[in-house]
Structure 1
Amino acid sequence: MVHSESFTIPTRGRGTVELTDRVQQAVASSGVGVGLCSVFVHHTSASLIICENADPSVRSDLERYFARLVPDGDPLFRHTLEGPDDMPAHVRSILTQASLSVPVSGGRCDLGTWQGLFLWEHRADGHRRRITVTVVGDAP
């Protein structure tokens, strides 16, 4: 059994948006009891992460770390067509990931107690980001 669906998430600029509930809904509607869930973001300046979902300071710390690691306006970068955050956003997305795979068990993503699925927007301004969830597996 295979099920795929796409949806769009608005962002408010740099930072994370939790996708866990929306992905769990896609898994539930797939009818898959045991299998694999793939989540994919269709953009080169946003990424996906599995991260602690209980304390938002974890994600704030990640944002500050990446701001130090890949600063906006770094003179090293030539690709600045869309502004000083353009190339840093690409680097950030490459250092993280465009897709995630999560096991499905009992008709749900089998995440750990403190794990959540997040879209990480790397551009300074808000965007609309397209996400595709594909679930493959067996019915219960």
Structure 2
Amino acid sequence: MTFQHTLHIQTRGRGMTELTAAVRDAVRASGVRTGLAHVFVRHTSCSLLITENADPDVRRDLETLARRWAPDGDPAYRHDMEGDDDMAAHARSVLTEVALSMPVGDGELLLGTWQGIYLWEHRAQGHRRELVVTVIGS
């Protein structure tokens, strides 16, 4: 059995938006009891991650690290057509993930106790993001 659902997420700008409940709802709607849930974001300046969902300092610290990995406005960047955050956002996306796969068992996502699924917006301004959730199994 295969099920596919599209999510539309409006971000508020740089930072993380939790998707756990939306992905969990898609898994439940799929009717799949055992299989895989795959989430793919259809953009090049944001990414997906699974990280701790209990302490928001973890997500703030990840943003601090991302600023070090790919700073806005680096004079070495050639691609800056959409502003100082343009190339930095693409680099952050490449350094992280644009797709995630998670196991499904008994019709539920099999995430760990402190794991959450997040869309990580790398642009300074908010954007409408499209994600495809595909659930495969029986």
TM-score normalised by structure 2 residue count: 0.99
Find out whether 1:93 has 2:87 as its counterpart.
no
Number of positions where the alignment pairs a residue of Structure 1 with one of Structure 2: 138
- Tell me the amino acid that sits aligned with residue 118 of structure 2: F
How far apart, CA to CA, are the structure 2 residues paired with 1:106 and 1:16? 28
How far apart, CA to CA, are the structure 1 residues paired with 2:76 and 2:105? 46
Aligned to 1:115: 115
TM-score normalised by structure 1 residue count: 0.98
How far apart, CA to CA, are the structure 1 residues paired with 2:7 and 2:113? 25
Instruction: Return the offset for 1:69.
Output: 1.7
- Tell me the amino acid that sits aligned with residue 123 of structure 1: R
How far apart, CA to CA, are the structure 2 residues paired with 1:65 and 1:36? 30
Instruction: Return the offset for 1:108.
Output: 1.0
Find out whether 1:54 has 2:61 as its counterpart.
no
Unaligned runs of 5+ in 1: none
- Tell me the amino acid that sits aligned with residue 69 of structure 1: W
Instruction: Return the offset for 1:76.
Output: 1.2
Instruction: Return the offset for 1:28.
Output: 0.1
Aligned to 2:83: 83
Secondary structure, aligned partner of 1:119: strand
How far apart, CA to CA, are the structure 2 residues paired with 1:19 and 1:105? 19
Q: CA RMSD in A?
A: 0.5
Aligned to 2:28: 28
Unaligned runs of 5+ in 2: none
Instruction: Return the offset for 1:92.
Output: 0.1
How far apart, CA to CA, are the structure 2 residues paired with 1:101 and 1:124? 27
Identity among equivalent pairs (%): 59
- Tell me the amino acid that sits aligned with residue 105 of structure 2: S
How far apart, CA to CA, are the structure 1 residues paired with 2:136 and 2:3? 7
Instruction: Return the offset for 1:54.
Output: 0.4
